[in-house]
Structure 1
C-alpha cells in the first residue's frame, strides 16, 4: 500500500464531490485532522473504514486501497463475456460484462470460474421454452441458487431458494448456453437442446 498515492486519490475524489475535509470526516464519524493526515500521506484509513469511505467518495474499495483509478476501454457489452461475482457472506449476486473491481461486505470479490458440468441438469425443449428438472440437493447448506440462459445479447436468470424443487420453465433463447450456480461447488455451464429445422430442398 502507498500512503501518499491513496491520500492524493482521496483528496482528488473529495474535491470532485465538492466537499471539504470536515464534511468528509462527518460522513465517516472521524475528525477533519484524520482526513488531513490521509491526504498528506501521514496516515492510512483502517480497513474497516474502506466500505464507508468508498461509498462517500463513490469509488470502489480496490481503487482506494491501490491509490489508482484504472481506465478501461469501453466494453462492447457482449454477454458471452459475462462474469458472475457472488459474495460468500451475504450471497449477493453481481454480474459484469468484463472484468471489474467488485466489493461486497467489505471484501474484494473474484469472478466465479465457469466449470463444465459432469452431472448436468435435465433440460428438454418443448415448443418455445425449456423444461428444467434436477434432483440436485436443495438443503439450506447446499443448493442451486440460480439457473440462467445466456447468449451474446440476451440473459434470462431465475433465482432459486433452499427447499425448492427444481422444476421450472425458461424461455427459449437462440444459441444460448445454460449456467447454474451450486453454493458448495461453484458455477457450471452446459449446452441445451436446439430446435431441429427441416433441411431445405436443394435446387436442381
Structure 2
C-alpha cells in the first residue's frame, strides 16, 4: 500500500464531503490525530476501519486501498448505448447510457446482454388513452417472472418494475418507434424493436 497516495485520496474525499478530520475520527472511534497522520502519508488505516471509512467517504474500498479512483469517461448520453444491470443480491435494476462501473450490494455488476429473441414471451399491445397497454404471455411465479420492462425512445427511458404474482402487464406513453426491453429472471433480457 502506498500510504502517501492513500492519504492524499482520503484528504480529497473528506474535503469533497465537507467533513473535518474530527468528524471522521468521531465516527470511527479514533483520535483525529490518526486521520491527520493518514492524510500526511505517515500511515494507513487499520484493516478493520476500511469498510466504515469507505462508507463515510462514499467510495468503494478497493480503489481507496489503491490510492486512486479512476473516473469513468464522460457519458455523452447516447440512448442507443443503453445498458441494464440487475443486482443478484437485492434485485435492483440499474441503467447507464454508456460504459460505467456499476456497483450494488458491494459487487461490481456486469451488464445484461440481450438474448435470442426466439425465447421471448408473446406480447399484446393495445392503445388505451395516450398509452400503450402491453400484456405478456409469461408466468409470474416467485421462481419465474418478468422483473422489469423498459421502453426506450429518443432521450427517454420508461422503466416498469414487475413482481411475482403480479399481472404481467405495463403501460407506457405512446411513442413512435423505440425499443422495448423485457427482463425475465430465468431467460434474461429480450429486445423488441419498433414498439
Alpha-carbon displacement from aligned partner over 1:41-89 (angstroms, at most 9, x marks no partner): 7435648843x43442244555424432334453232222222222221
Q: Which moved more, 1:72-81 or 1:59-68?
A: 59-68
Q: Look up the match of 2:163.
A: 161
Runs of 4+ deviating beyond 6 Å: none
- Is structure 2 residue 98 aligned with structure 1 residue 98? yes
Q: Matches of 1:103 and 1:60 in 2, distance apart? A: 9
Residue pairs, 1:179-198, within 5 angstroms = 179-193=181-195
Q: How far off is 1:9 after superposition? A: 0.9
Q: Look up the match of 2:44.
A: 43
- Is structure 2 residue 20 aligned with structure 1 residue 23? no
3-state SS in 2 of match to 1:118: helix
CA RMSD of aligned residues (A): 3.1
Q: Look up the match of 1:9.
A: 9
Q: Look up the match of 1:67.
A: 67
In structure 2, stretches of 5+ residues that fail to align are: none
Q: Look up the match of 2:132.
A: 130
Residue pairs, 1:78-89, within 5 angstroms = 78-89=78-89
Asked if the contact 1:132–1:168 (Cα under 8 Å) also holds between the matched residues in 2, the reply is yes
Judging changes above 3 Å, is the alpha-carbon distance between structure 1 residues 81 and 29 closer, same or farther for their aligned structure 2 residues?
A: farther
Alpha-carbon displacement from aligned partner over 1:6-54 (angstroms, at most 9, x marks no partner): 332112222343433332122334454654565427435648843x434
What TM-score results when the alignment is normalised by the length of structure 2? 0.77
Residue pairs, 1:111-126, within 5 angstroms = 111-126=111-126
Match of 1:139 among 141, 144, 157: 141
Asked if the contact 1:181–1:187 (Cα under 8 Å) also holds between the matched residues in 2, the reply is yes
Judging changes above 3 Å, is the alpha-carbon distance between structure 1 residues 157 and 44 closer, same or farther for their aligned structure 2 residues?
A: same
Aligned residues: 192
What TM-score results when the alignment is normalised by the length of structure 1? 0.74
Q: Matches of 1:69 and 1:152 in 2, distance apart? A: 32
Asked if the contact 1:61–1:108 (Cα under 8 Å) also holds between the matched residues in 2, the reply is no
Asked if the contact 1:122–1:132 (Cα under 8 Å) also holds between the matched residues in 2, the reply is no
Q: Matches of 1:61 and 1:173 in 2, distance apart? A: 43
3-state SS in 1 of match to 2:169: strand
Q: Matches of 1:48 and 1:150 in 2, distance apart? A: 43
Q: Matches of 1:87 and 1:138 in 2, distance apart? A: 19
Judging changes above 3 Å, is the alpha-carbon distance between structure 1 residues 27 and 162 closer, same or farther for their aligned structure 2 residues?
A: same
Q: Look up the match of 1:170.
A: 172
